Amino acid sequence: MICMLIEVRVKPSAIDEFLKVIKYDAVHSEGDEPGCMRFDVLRDNDDPLKFFFYEVYKDESARLAHRETPHFAKWAKFMENGLDGEIVRHATTNFHPTDAEWR
């Protein structure tokens, strides 16, 4: 599996739109993509404009397929003007639970 940890900071003026767009992306990622195992959106306790996404995909092809979906297209459009700074991406593999132990 491929586990992605994504960090973004949202412009204050775009927070309401962000909350709608990212929830839509997360719900449809898990609901519509057979290869998306998980898509969590986490808000930083110290900086309410900083968010983390924890995304789990069955494999690299599932991760790439995510980028071809209509819900990702909405996210991509938001990214053009709604983010404050660069996106920080971490591609990881799970240690525990192992792929075989995953729920």
CATH number at residue 64: 3.30.70.100
At residue 66, the 3 state secondary structure works out as helix
* pLDDT at position 73: 96
> Which pair of structure tokens corresponds to residue 70?
């209509």
The number of domains in the chain is 1
Closest CA to 14 of 70, 85, 69, 71: 85
* pLDDT at position 99: 80
The overall pTM is greater than 0.75: yes
* pLDDT at position 62: 96
Domain residue limits at 64: 2-101
pLDDT digit string (tens) for the chain, length 103 residues: 999 999 999 999 999 999 999 999 999 999 999 999 999 999 999 999 999 999 999 999 999 999 999 999 999 999 999 999 999 999 998 888 888 887 6
> Which pair of structure tokens corresponds to residue 84?
């404050």
